[in-house]
Amino acid sequence: MLSAQMTVMYGKFRTSIITIQSCLVSTSLHFYKMENMKIGTKFIHAGAEPDPSTGAIMIPIYQTSTYVQAAPGQHKGFEYARSQNPTRKALEDTLAIIENGKYGLAFSSGVAATDAVVKLLSPGDEVIATNDMYGGTYRLFTKVFEKFGLKFRYVDMRDPANIEAQVNEHTKLIWTETPTNPLMNITDIASVAAIAKKCNALLCVDNTFASPYLQNPLDMGADIVMHSSTKYLGGHSDVIQGALMMNDANLREQLYFIQKSCGAVPGPMDCFLVMRGIKTLHVRMQRHCENGEKIAYFLRNHPAIAEVFWCGFEDHPGYYIAKTQMRGFGGMMSFTLKDNSPANVTKVLSSTRIFSLAESLGGVESLINHPASMTHASIPREERIKNGLADSLIRLSVGIEDAEDLIEDLNNAIGK
Ligand SMILES: Cc1ncc(COP(=O)(O)O)c(C=O)c1O
């Protein structure tokens, strides 16, 4: 009896502490304006309001499919977890902030996020897309959406004039990746945004390779930013997820409608993992950039290497645009060998000990990849060759290990 009374008393006391604490925690962040914060502070604090019921500093994983209503329609803003989930909402707020946008939406994969953007269109509409991009995006466009009456025109976006030449009254979307996967080509985002505006089309930039640490396309006039959060945002190769960020409320409503109607939403655990990843994005990216630079120069000076594709070289055709629109050059690169026989390429791909041969990128660990047979196999060979993607091309996602170990590993694998 006594202990039950004490529990009740403690319960009341605890409730009042929580009430006071939630006032404190919920007001404390309002002293700071996110837009005034430097990038690292922003990545750590974006969307991270302490949980009002307990003060938990990390957003809880709301592992629930539904929410109890007091009476029909009387709820706390959450009805069914395909439409809303508090963990996803915290992540979506974070996504908006890190891309300097007003709205963020999270999807079950990067491809699902791309799929949602294309579903804004109607039969007869046309898309101008970059001719060098992730193979899965090309597959989605050509194999899934073409049969619904959409037309895709692929152009070399290194020169914005090539885009202008393809614009017509049916153009509704311009899709670019910069830097591109895997050739590290650079698109001038501000110039393409001006073209999109002029022809009343949306510009969507796949910002996966750069990450919001290196580049913010919304600031340069893009309408939508897309991420495979699987990569640098998550950062630990333990989650598949996608993201869209935008400024326009009407566009957000349309994309939210597609998100809940088509249902490609991420689970709360995965949202938690991406939120945790974002907190260290700036620190990881600094190291990806440092290691990337060391490895790019090591490869360039290696006698067995024919060509290195990395946008931080001053003689890279997109260097000056990259320097204006990016804060660094990142850890993604690709290269070809002088002996580009399939046997030698296979030997190099199979001989690294620290670089793991695997699809994907952007994790803390270094990965080596063969685009022609792995990430870009879904693009027909003639198309790949036409766009400069050789069968012998090797792609690296340089991780954040010690650069000396990575260089030694590559040196051993490449040989003389
Ligand atoms: C540049 C780029 N965009 C989009 C995607 C697709 O993302 P996801 O694998 O998360 O669906 C990838 C995947 O590798 C990618 O590299």
Alpha-helix residue ranges (DSSP H) falling in 263-386: 268-279, 281-300, 319-325, 342-351, 381-386
In this predicted structure, the answer to whether residue 27 has a pLDDT above a threshold of 70 is no
Provide mean pLDDT across the span 232-243: 98
Query: Which residue from 140, 180, 227, 228 has its CB within 8 A of the most atoms of ligand 1, so it is best to mutate?
Result: 228
Task: Give the DSSP H or E segment for 139.
Answer: helix 135-139
Residue 149, phi-psi category: left (phi > 0), alpha (psi -120 to 50), beta (remainder)? left
Q: What is the pLDDT of residues 261-320, one digit of tens each?
A: 999 999 999 999 999 999 999 999 999 999 999 999 999 999 999 999 999 999 999 999
- % residues pLDDT > 90 (the chain): 88
Q: What's residue 416's pLDDT?
A: 77
Active site residue 381: no
Active site residue 206: yes
Q: What is the pLDDT of residues 327-379, one digit of tens each?
A: 999 999 999 999 999 999 999 999 999 999 999 999 999 999 999 999 899 99
Q: What's residue 1's pLDDT?
A: 33
Active site residue 231: yes
Provide mean pLDDT across the span 3-25: 36
User: Would you say 340 and 301 are in contact if contact means Cβ atoms under 8 Å apart?
Assistant: no
Residue 304 — φ and ψ, nearest 5°? Answer: -90, 0
Is the shortest distance between the CB of 181 and ligand 1 below 6 Å?
A: yes
Q: Which of 88, 93, 103, 134 is catalytic?
A: 134
Residue nearest to atom 14 of ligand 1 (CA): 360
Q: How many CB atoms lie within 10 A of CB 305?
A: 17
Q: What is the pLDDT of residues 134-160, one digit of tens each?
A: 999 999 999 999 999 999 999 999 999
For 251, the 3-state DSSP assignment is helix
Q: What is the pLDDT of residues 397-410, one digit of tens each?
A: 999 999 999 999 99
Q: How many CB atoms lie within 10 A of CB 318?
A: 20
Q: How many CB atoms lie within 10 A of CB 11?
A: 9
161-197 in b/e burial notation, b at 16+ Cβ within 10 A?
A: eebbeebeeebbbbbbbbbbbbbbbbbbbebbbebbe
Q: What's residue 81's pLDDT?
A: 97
Q: Which of 51, 67, 82, 294 is catalytic?
A: 82
Q: Which has more pLDDT, 17 or 361?
A: 361
Q: What's residue 390's pLDDT?
A: 94
User: Would you say 280 and 98 are in contact if contact means Cβ atoms under 8 Å apart?
Assistant: no
Residue 112 CA: nearest ligand 1 atom is 11
Tokens 């404390």 found at: 28
Residue ranges of E strands in 168-327: 171-177, 202-206, 224-228, 242-246, 305-309
Q: What's residue 53's pLDDT?
A: 87
Question: In the structure, what pLDDT confidence band is assigned to residue 5 with cuts at 50, 70 and 90?
Answer: very low
Q: Is 365 exposed, middle or buried (0-12, 13-18, 19+ CB in 10 A)?
A: middle
Residue 336 — φ and ψ, nearest 5°? Answer: -120, 155
**Cα–Cα distance for residue pair 298/296, rounded to 1 Å:** 6
Query: Which residue from 107, 111, 130, 389 has its CB within 8 A of the most atoms of ligand 1, so it is best to mutate?
Result: 111
**Cα–Cα distance for residue pair 104/154, rounded to 1 Å:** 28
Q: What's residue 8's pLDDT?
A: 34
